[in-house]
Amino acid sequence: MNKYILAASVLLSVCYQSNAQTEKHLKNIKQLTYGGDNAEAYFSFDDKNLTFQSNNAKWGLQCDQIFNLNIANALKDSTYRPPLISTGRGRTTCSFFLKDGKHILYASTHAHDSLCPPNPAPRTDHKYLWSVYPNYDIYIADLNGKITQQLTNSAGYDAEATISPQGDKIVFTSTRSGDLELWTMNIDGTNLKQITNGLGYDGGAFFSPDGKKLVFRASRPSTDEDVKEYKELLAQGLVMPIKMEIFTCNVDGTDLKQITHLGKANWAPYFTPDGKKIIFSSNYDAEKGFFFNLFTINLDGTGLEKITGISNFNAFPMFSRDGKKIVFSSNRNSHGRPGIDLYIADWVE
């Protein structure tokens, strides 16, 4: 599980705030998973299931694999084990339901190596790195785990794919043009188009509810030193995601706008159900680098509001299609133990 999961899961303390109003937009918060690191959970089009990635050792996993979680079953039984969708080989990331509810999109390294690719070696300066494995390709599988289509087969990183609310387009991140850029394609893998062109990492993109815009996280190295470091790391299949901001653009790449100017790491963005705001994860106000909370912000960059505040890791938010629920990853009930779990809550405006 890339991004900040590994580092956040080994924190040994939980920072609680007593002010209940900190989470006034979240009601009836329920835990869905128990054990390991569980993240990037996204609703099916009928809002009954979630596809997500987990490395739960109790399930015999060495690194992230993709699962299909039935929400009703998970709420009834804390021992519920959702069915595996990915092959169980290699490492996977960033899954998403197709509109038909019968297929799941995800990225995997399994075709190149059955073993889990290694995590980056720790740096002497302790700066956080994560890998953009060049062996990632994007697949579609049915609910029994049978791969029905391979959508990418080019050299380099192809991952972080999500599907438009209309079910007809995919946005993903690729290095096929030499940098980490956003691309779109039709649901069958045809009609490839490069969307972003700025130097730096562009990723984690999602469509707006009307399918006309994209929101994503991006790094934009500006100094000679930052540019040099970014390019050197990318050549090693690495990214240092400690300076990222939230951007939007039209689905064709026009009208590119930087929404946040907060510093530090702002990531995991998603449009609110009305399409007027963005919810995202950030450590901009944290004293320690791996303390992340959810925030919302207007599309013009005003109205920043903190949504979570009772634990030190909250990320990967997604709203249900009907706008009534939100799912996210958090360590709020870990009580100092390593692990990130999935939570679902009623969303209150």
What one-character-per-residue DSSP string does 188-249 give? Answer: TS-S-EE---SSS-EEEEEE-TTSSEEEEEE----SHHHHHHHHHHHHTTEE-TTSBEEEEE
Q: Which residues contact 327 (CB under 8 A, 6 or more apart)?
A: 32, 41, 42, 43, 50, 317, 318, 320, 342, 343, 344, 345
Q: Is the model's pTM score more than 0.85?
A: yes
For residues 11 and 128, give the distance between their C-alpha atoms in angstroms, rounded to a whole number.
14
- The residue ranges of the chain whose pLDDT is under 50 are 3-20
Strand partners, 125: none
User: Encoding tokens for residue 5?
Assistant: 């999961």
Task: Tell me the domains of the chain and their CATH numbers.
Answer: 5-17+29-347 (2.120.10.30)
With 0-12 CB in 10 A as exposed, 13-18 as middle and 19+ as buried, what is 79?
exposed
Q: Select from 196, 217, 208 the least CA-distant residue to 169.
A: 208
Residue 16's pLDDT is 39
- 259-314 pLDDT tens trace: 999 999 999 999 999 999 999 999 999 987 679 999 999 999 999 999 999 788 99
Residue 126's pLDDT is 84
Residue 106's pLDDT is 98
Q: Which residues contact 173 (CB under 8 A, 6 or more apart)?
A: 157, 158, 159, 160, 180, 181, 182, 183, 201, 202, 203, 204, 205
Q: Select from 197, 193, 153 the least CA-distant residue to 178.
A: 197
Residue 21's pLDDT is 55
For residues 11 and 265, give the distance between their C-alpha atoms in angstroms, rounded to a whole number.
18
- 76-96 pLDDT tens trace: 999 999 999 999 999 999 999
Indicate the pairing of strand 305-306 with strand 293-298. Answer: antiparallel
For residues 260 and 270, give the distance between their C-alpha atoms in angstroms, rounded to a whole number.
13
